[in-house]
Structure 1
Amino acid sequence: MAISKLPEQVVAEDLLETPTRPFLLEQGLHFIQLGCYAEGLDLLTLACEHLPPDQVHLAELLDKFIQGSVEYQRVQQEFQKACARFVKAHSEQQACVAAFSSRLSLLKTSFCPPDHFPCQLKVAEEMNPQNAPIQPFMADQSTSPFPQPFMKEDATLPELFITCFGRFEVKRLGAPLALCSSRNGQRIFRYLVATAEHCATSDTLQAIFWPEDEPEVAQRKLHIAICALRRSLNSGYEHEAGSGYIVCKNSVYYLNKEITMHLDVDNFLHYFQQGQRTSEGRVAFYEQACSLYTGPFLPEDIYADWSFLQREQLSQKYLAMCRVLAHHYQKMNHYEEAARWATLILKEDHCDEAAHRQLIQVFKAQGRRSEAFKQYQRCERILRDELGVQPAPETVREFRTLVAGEPLPNQG
């Protein structure tokens, strides 16, 4: 029996067919001819990523064209910036000439007779018989074939602020920075951010992101992804070819050490280590560290093997600090704070029996026996459903002391 396809399925399949690639190539070239380089290069990059392995020659030709367009755009931006500097310098020079001319007229009136410069005046009149003002050279930008992008006067790339907890985000000058449309480019950037030295060899990146492709195909895809990533990171700023936020040397890609990049993970680990070194300020350091932990490390790569170990290590450090803080506030009889930290533990790991038990103790101390009873029931259910075990003896003891007291309110 034939099954009819939904319109969405037809569209999705059409986008994967070969006719889509010529469309992307034509549109990409059209955008570049209009001067919309960013849009055009994105379309060409997308088309190149979907080329089958047997079209290596077309991929090489397309890659060469993309690189040439990138270099042309860079040179064009340098030319436009030089023109802007020339116009500014010319205006300043004209102002200086006008000021000097005015001052010279005063000097002539003060120190020289009126007929002292007849020859010079006659020559000037012959050169400019209509006494027309000399106009500065100005390019007619209305008819210029070049686009006029906004260029920063300071070519130095500004620092980046990178968030890895909860949701990956990059900010520059206080505003979110949109990364390239290439998912592989985004993954590579997250990988470089996550590694200890913020670097990786070309072979390593190919093995991680294209393990099933032939080496030449994987190398081409890596090159395309890196180019797209560099364009998005360096957009709006002038830089040397092959440099910027990501540089490559001897087939090793790494984040530029000359540019400051602030990572929330680095700050998290800094406060964690500071708290371990001192007992007096430990609570304050741990609270600062935990405030940065807004969710799992790089959730976009939750199923990636390379991110699993680091994510687990950071989670365990976070949980350890939360336990210290929960016990600290419980000992100080600050039950609301103790309950808050125990709840955060369960948000990260809802099977943490010690946190369940601590909430039961806190609720009992506050006289909230009904909530303590519900917390034990919740703990018992989660341990049974998730782990297939019963609560530990110490948790059961907390429950028994709870029911041994006054009668509980009607649970309905």
Structure 2
Amino acid sequence: MRFQLLGPLAIEANGRPLRLHGKRPRAVLALLLLNPGALVPVDRIIDAVWGDSPPRTVRTQVHAQISVIRRCLLALPDVEIRTHATGYLLRADPDTIDVVVFRELARRAGTLAALGQPVAAAEAYRAALGLHVGPPLGDVDAPFARVEAARLAEERLGVLAELTGLDLRAGRYHELIPRLTSLVEQHPLHEPLWRHLLVALHRAGRRSEAIARYHRARTLLRDELGLDPGPELTATYRALLSDDPAPPTGVRDDLLDRTLSRLAEVERMLQDIRRQLETGELSH
């Protein structure tokens, strides 16, 4: 990776780190890297980096930060920041940006799982998780960074939950219980992790403990969010009460999951094509 966002912001050229100093240049670069190939308007940069009280000279400062970034990226001739009338566009190989690669791996894993290839799906999920080296945007200090970091952390949790689901289907109940117990303590409002813990406990022969864990999750959700558990966690609990190993699933459910996954993949491809048309990346 040349650009790391899934941890402290880092840039690499020819195997060596590039130093980009300054709070604002690093924040502006991070924002552009999160939107590769897309025009980012100056007004959006101002809101994202300076927040609600920008100085009167903020537009001049934006131009100055872009100049600093360009000088830093001179060692990367295949990377450029283009100036447009209303903003800036960063052009770089998507495979050099860890966030882009993470999301592509997660999409690929989801498709592989839907096509009945759990081993390959698990490998892709693990590769995606391996790109996280710390809290996302860990050293980027800007208003947008907090929101984006939370979103990226939630995406990581989603991938972790999907991988755990594959491990459950592979029968790794006993080894998953300690890991899931730790995860629900760290992320007590993440229902998919609770659901996996309940299933793992039940299939490991610890039904009463699984039921107790459900009541713990329900109490936390009610106290923190004022909500009852969602339908999937509730269905898992009902399966515990009826002593089924997991909520029943059938061929029709599998076909529906595969169809929805493929439709989602097509929608993402159309969005990519639309973005390229808007930014002029596709020529006629």
TM-score, normalised via structure 2 length: 0.61
Matches within 5 A, 1:207-356: 207-210=47-50, 212-213=53-54, 217-234=57-74, 246-251=80-85, 252-257=87-92, 262-278=96-112, 279=115, 280=117, 281-294=120-133, 297-300=136-139, 304-305=143-144, 308=147, 312=151, 314=152, 317-336=155-174, 338-339=176-177, 342=180, 346=184, 349-356=187-194
Distance 1:356 1:260 in 2: 34
Equivalent position amino acid for 2:24 in 1: N
Distance 2:183 2:142 in 1: 22
Distance 1:196 1:255 in 2: 6
C-alpha change, 1:394 and 1:197, in structure 2 (3 Å) is same
Equivalent position amino acid for 2:160 in 1: C
Q: Deviations over 1:27-73 (max 9, x none)?
A: xxxxxxxxxxxxxxxxxxxxxxxxxxxxxxxxxxxxxxxxxxxxxxx
Equivalent position amino acid for 1:322 in 2: L
Q: Give the Å deviation of 1:315.
A: 5.3
1:195 aligns with 2:35: yes
Q: 1:173 aligns with which of 14, 19, 23?
A: 14
Equivalent position amino acid for 1:290 in 2: L
1:184 aligns with 2:21: no
Query: For structure 1, which runs of at least 5 residues remain unmatched after alignment?
Result: 1-159, 403-412
Q: Give the Å deviation of 1:331.
A: 2.6
C-alpha change, 1:347 and 1:296, in structure 2 (3 Å) is farther
Equivalent position amino acid for 1:229 in 2: I
Q: Secondary structure of 1:176's match? A: strand
**Identity value in percent:** 21
- Tell me what 1:162 maps to: 3
Matches within 5 A, 1:12-27: none
Distance 1:387 1:350 in 2: 11
CA RMSD of aligned residues (A): 4.2
Distance 2:47 2:225 in 1: 35
C-alpha change, 1:355 and 1:334, in structure 2 (3 Å) is same
Q: Give the Å deviation of 1:267.
A: 1.4
Q: Deviations over 1:242-261 (max 9, x none)?
A: x995544345433354x887
Q: Which has the higher contact order (CA 8 A, sep 6+)?
A: 2
Equivalent position amino acid for 1:387 in 2: L
Distance 1:185 1:302 in 2: 10
Q: Deviations over 1:88-131 (max 9, x none)?
A: xxxxxxxxxxxxxxxxxxxxxxxxxxxxxxxxxxxxxxxxxxxx
Distance 2:104 2:161 in 1: 18
Q: Give the Å deviation of 1:190.
A: 0.5
Matches within 5 A, 1:396-407: 397=238
Q: Give the Å deviation of 1:345.
A: 6.4
Q: Secondary structure of 1:298's match? A: coil
Q: Secondary structure of 2:19's match? A: coil
C-alpha change, 1:163 and 1:250, in structure 2 (3 Å) is closer
- Tell me what 1:366 maps to: 204
Equivalent position amino acid for 2:107 in 1: Q
Distance 1:364 1:288 in 2: 29
- Tell me what 1:109 maps to: none
Equivalent position amino acid for 2:45 in 1: L
Distance 2:165 2:94 in 1: 38
Aligned residues between the structures: 233
TM-score, normalised via structure 1 length: 0.45
Tell whether the 8 Å contact from 1:376 to 1:399 is kept in structure 2 after alignment. Answer: no
Q: Secondary structure of 1:209's match? A: helix
- Tell me what 1:31 maps to: none
Tell whether the 8 Å contact from 1:164 to 1:297 is kept in structure 2 after alignment. Answer: yes
Tell whether the 8 Å contact from 1:296 to 1:311 is kept in structure 2 after alignment. Answer: no
C-alpha change, 1:322 and 1:270, in structure 2 (3 Å) is same
- Tell me what 1:115 maps to: none
- Tell me what 2:195 maps to: 357
C-alpha change, 1:390 and 1:222, in structure 2 (3 Å) is closer
- Tell me what 2:256 maps to: none
Q: Secondary structure of 1:333's match? A: coil
